[in-house]
Structure 1
């Protein structure tokens, strides 16, 4: 099959995704929600988020989505100084169609201009090379939806 017969929309050009938003709330209001076990307090797609018994130095949280998907995510890095969290998916029901993904959420204060006292939030995902274009598009959509939910929740604080 020649590449000209494959629709370009199905050819993955990247195995990473970056979504971002300026949230009209101070960094402290936004950062309040950026803990894996607290994601259900803002993300409307989640039915529940809870700690899973794990190793002493490992934080693992189970996310149960309203569509029935259950992910266990492991916190890889967390900085309250630099305002970011990195996590990986370690188990999934149903099983994922790709091998792995590592995601990072970073928050930055907007310090000047019209949006001063707002927060710039960037949510990245780096997928294994076996992730297809559908996975990348789904990740973009879910992050955009979650960022919109985060903006609504932070505005209420």
Structure 2
């Protein structure tokens, strides 16, 4: 009998950022995540990556290094989807596919703001700790994005 706790293998976090879509969307490029997410020390294109694939290396302040691959990007619908292709140290799960979507808030008290949704779909071997960690990292990153985008 397994002692693993059954858990959903996806996470969705969202925020309303009190800045126009153009200010927020400006930062939603894999190579620019270090411009807003304070836990990333450096984000840079991987040299020698296949021309048809955008692969970016994120070097985190805690020493973790991820290589992420842009799977899809739409400047029309304002979303980016990426996957983690390598990790040092190694991940405890097989895969994750993440998407960030941005929507302009066009009416109401928050008109002129941006609704941002950051989802992650993990392989079935991700445990509850991985999902909780992803939840808090996304919340932290969205708060960092808000601070930077509102200054612009």
What TM-score, normalized to structure 1? 0.94
Q: In structure 2, how many angstroms separate the alpha carbons of the residues matched to 1:60 and 1:125?
A: 18
Give the aligned CA root-mean-square deviation in angstroms: 1.2
- What is the alpha-carbon distance in structure 2 between the residues aligned to residue 125 and residue 60 of structure 1? 18
Match of 1:130 among 113, 121, 125: 125
Instruction: Please list every run of 5 or more consecutive structure 2 residues that lacks an aligned counterpart in the other structure.
Output: none
2:88 corresponds to which residue?
A: 93
Deviations along 1:17-70, one digit per CA (max 9) or x if unpaired, are 000000000000000000000000000000000000211110000000000000
Answering whether residue 75 of structure 2 is matched by residue 80 of structure 1, we say yes
Q: What's the TM-score, normalizing by structure 2?
A: 0.97
Deviation per CA, 1:97-138, whole angstroms, max 9, x where unpaired? 000000000000000000000000000000000000000000
Give the superposition deviation at 1:11. Answer: 2.2
The 2-side partners of 1:155 and 1:97 are apart by 35
Q: Partners of 1:72 and 1:115 in 2: how far apart? A: 36
Task: Give yes or no for the alignment of 1:104 onto 2:94.
Answer: no
Q: 1:137 & 1:13 partners in 2: Cα distance? A: 10
Deviation, 1:13, is: 2.5
Q: Please say if 1:147 is aligned against 2:113.
A: no
- Which secondary structure state, in structure 2, belongs to the residue aligned with residue 124 of structure 1? strand
Show the counterpart of 2:38: 44
Q: Distance in 2 between matches of 1:31 and 1:143?
A: 16
1:60 aligned residue: 55
Q: 2:13 aligns with which of 10, 13, 19?
A: 19
Report which of the two structures shows the higher radius of gyration computed on alpha carbons. 1
